[in-house]
Amino acid sequence: MKKILIILLLAGLGFYIATTYTGIGFGEPHFKHGVKDTYLKQTVQSLHVANTVTAIVVNFRGFDTLGEVTVLFLAVTALGSILYKKRHEVGVRSVLFSSSSIVTAGSKLLFPAIILLGAYVFIHGHLTPGGGFQGGVIIATGFLLMLLAYRNYSVSHIILSIVESIAGITFAGIGLLGLIYGETFLQNFLPVGVLNNVFSGGIIPIIYIAVGFKVAAELTGVIYTILHEKGESNG
């Protein structure tokens, strides 16, 4: 019975994929004025987004971005699984050095500014160059600075996991809402607002904020794990 259900499931999935590909019409022009001109026109007129690259990444090709985030999650999970048993205890790092009072004092001043800059980059990703991936990396570098400046500085993997999970669920949930209230997955179903306004672009800034938190949590976890890796001589 189980084999029959699996065969039926695979047959249904295969039929769905086959009908999807046959309906694409490869080689046929899908846009009257070309892909480039259509994206440039719809970005401003339909989405009210100033950053065309953001509109393409998060809206027109949003499913690709979801795949990229998934790949990053799988890579981080694999790395964490490999290095988990080789970690030192909290506060013990593989990178040892004597940090001066200037470094520690300077890191205290820079850390809030780095976090604020990262948040600004992904919140304004639909208005200016930047976005979720860039902003998340900036935030991760802030935590890297604190981990290098303070020997006993630590981050909670539980909190990182919660932040990462909420961000991923938000991304996928918005996509499903687009399917429910619209016609396609990740369809921009919210009001697009006014061009060059922070509250514009519909779902685009919300998705980029979710991506920013997800990338920041994943990279911070990787950095923390690597810095606490035991050497071969200490294993």
Q: Give the tens place of pLDDT for each residue, 141-166.
A: 999 999 888 878 888 889 998 999 99
Q: 9: domain range?
A: 2-227
SS3 87: strand
Q: Is residue 81 part of a domain?
A: yes
Q: Is residue 232 part of a domain?
A: no
List all residues 6 or more positions away from 105 whose beta carbon is below 8 Å from its beta carbon.
none
Q: Is residue 170 part of a domain?
A: yes
Q: 235: pLDDT confidence band, cut at 50, 70 and 90?
A: very low
Contact predicate 118/212, CB 8 Å: yes
Residues shown for the chain? 235
Q: Is residue 234 part of a domain?
A: no
Q: Is residue 44 part of a domain?
A: yes
Q: Is residue 235 part of a domain?
A: no
Q: 233: pLDDT confidence band, cut at 50, 70 and 90?
A: very low
- 175 or 31, which is more confident? 175
- Which pLDDT score is estimated for 85? 62
Q: Is residue 233 part of a domain?
A: no
Can you tell me the distance from the alpha carbon of 184 to that of 38, in angstroms, rounded to the nearest whole number?
19
List all residues 6 or more positions away from 41 whose beta carbon is below 8 Å from its beta carbon.
33
- Which pLDDT score is estimated for 162? 94
- Which pLDDT score is estimated for 88? 53
- Which pLDDT score is estimated for 116? 96
Q: Is residue 192 part of a domain?
A: yes
Can you tell me the distance from the alpha carbon of 155 to that of 153, in angstroms, rounded to the nearest whole number?
7
Can you tell me the distance from the alpha carbon of 75 to that of 67, in angstroms, rounded to the nearest whole number?
12
pLDDT in tens, 85-143: 655 555 555 555 556 788 888 898 999 999 999 999 999 988 888 889 999 999 999 99
Mean pLDDT of the chain: 83
What's the domain count of the chain?
Answer: 1
